Amino acid sequence: MFRMHRLGAWMLIAAAIAFGPSAATAQLSEAAAWSTQVRNQYRVATNITYLTANNWEAKLDVYTPQEGPGPHPTVLYFHGGGWTGGSKESSVLTFLPYLEMGWAVVNVEYRLARVSLAPAAVEDCLCALRWVIRNATDYGFDTDKIVLTGNSAGGHLALTTGMIPASEGLDRQCPGNETLKVAAIVNWYGITDVAELIDGANQRAYAVTWLGSMPSRKEIAERVSPLKYVRAGLPPVLTIHGDADPTVPYTQATRLHDALAKAGIRQELVTVPAGKHGGFSRSEMTRIYSRIQEFLRGAGLTRVQSSAVR
């Protein structure tokens, strides 16, 4: 198992490569050196089909620790790209800190707008969670310690997957009796009010593309907006957002923060001063991951051993 004193190095690599391409070159040799150890410490199963919808196979990758049979705390990661682009393969380095902590990781792909318009991506991610719960014994997932995370559109999908109740029927692509419950959500500058982005001053092209020209697009936008589902009993939510984000308005984070607080949900908003849409500095990434660890520890979700902190 990797030692916790290496977590800082993983943070820098993840920040440099996943968030800042210009800084990535200096870290490539270090990342390559560590990749061998990742393979040695983890069992990796790629491109597992968890759902077939619209004749399209939705797939995910699973990383499970070699050490011990589990069950392991598990994070589901959803990539960004405005529901119109991105891939699970391009986001691997983003969740390295969770591998460093000894967690299992499930890296999820979902239907993009070119395959299916909204709410398809939301449906898929709920089905990915159901797949994890159904296959927990085979892969050593701890269903009491499932955390959802993602960036941008992936942050939105982490929120919807953890907040949408069964009564909405958005899991009908994969019917089952499992309760789709998670322990926490870590939201990186995710969209919380989709309807705000399809018309008016805050209109964004990616949101318009995802909803298309469907007559019911406003209704669907509201149906897939996390703010609609704020209520008592939700899992803890940590949100990271730059206050100068030009892609997802910072007010989407503050509105969620205020609504969760009013509902009595354990939540935290980590603001990056002058931060844009990701691309945060190394010092900010280190600060953010420190807050994430504290947040998970406070929720009883970390499995850090005292001998590992050196």
| CATH number for the domain harbouring residue 70 | 3.40.50.1820
In a domain, 307, yes or no: no
Sign for the CA dihedral angle at 124, 71, 15, 13 comes to: negative
The residue among 232, 225, 133 whose CA lies nearest residue 174 is 133
Region of 83 on the Ramachandran plot (φ > 0 left; ψ -120 to 50 alpha; else beta) = left
**144 within domain boundaries:** yes
* Residue 306 counted as domain residue: no
Provide the domain count of the chain. 1
pLDDT in tens, 74-112: 999 999 999 999 999 998 889 999 998 999 999 999 999
What pLDDT is recorded for position 32? 59
CA 269, 270, 274, 276: dihedral to nearest 10 degrees? -90
Computed over every residue of the chain, the mean pLDDT equals 89
H-run or E-run covering 228: none
Single out the residue of 60, 63, 62, 61 nearest to residue 42, CA to CA.
63
Query: What does the pLDDT look like over 14-47, one tens digit per residue?
Result: 444 444 444 444 455 555 555 666 667 899 999 9
Q: What is the mean pLDDT of residues 164-187?
A: 96
Residue 203 domain flag: yes
Cis bond upstream, residue 71 (ω within 30):
yes
Residue 162 lies in a domain: yes
| CA–CA dist 248, 242 (Å, integer) | 9
- The yes-or-no verdict on residue 61 having pLDDT over 90 is yes
- Closest by alpha carbon to 74, among 154, 145, 125, 161? 145
Asked if the structure places residue 91 within a domain, the reply is yes
Domain range spanning residue 287? 4-299
In a domain, 275, yes or no: yes
